[in-house]
Structure 1
């Protein structure tokens, strides 16, 4: 089913997706910050595991543990933020805009 403008019945519709974009950005930032704050514990675990390879292994293990902690946090935050933003787009914001007449509307207005 294609989306139509409730005013002019045009099918030339654009999605703004502001909620998804903002939610993804905020979620990624928050997740990365959370991942960085836990990077110390991840670095300690990586350093402990890397000790089997000597001092150089310990340093690389600590760096890898910190990097993985930040990446995992960023991905998890982005996923959660995007899902929340999508719900906001669908239920609260006027997410669609008619390219013919310029009218903004929500999908539930149909």
Structure 2
């Protein structure tokens, strides 16, 4: 059997993309829930500047909690998706013939 190696192969990374998106949504939701704690911390730190500082500190703490949760969730989901792509799915596609395969198929 002859094996032809095409130079027109690309990684599809479907699980990585889906995992990253799902992780971002889940992380942002978790971050939003924990934003209450961030808002309390921000309000306490902003209280030094008076009522306006407490309000702005509370808002900043809530926003940063959601952003941090989304970023961490996205990274974790993408890493898990990479493992699924590498170990479970046929992650590579030949553009010359359309064949999909995994590294272990070679």
5+ unaligned residues in a row in structure 2: which ranges? none
CA distance in 2, matches of 1:51, 1:96: 55
What TM-score, normalized to structure 2? Answer: 0.94
CA distance in 1, matches of 2:20, 2:101: 22
C-alpha root-mean-square deviation of aligned residues, in Å? 1.2
What secondary structure, in the 3-state scheme, does the structure 2 residue paired with 1:38 have? Answer: helix
**Over 4 Å off, 4+ runs:** none
- Paired residues in the alignment total 105
1:94 corresponding residue in structure 2: 90
Tell me, yes or no, if structure 1 residue 41 matches structure 2 residue 37.
yes
What secondary structure, in the 3-state scheme, does the structure 1 residue paired with 2:93 have? Answer: strand
**Deviation digits for residues 17-63 of structure 1, max 9, x if unmatched?**
10110000000000000000011111011101100000000000000
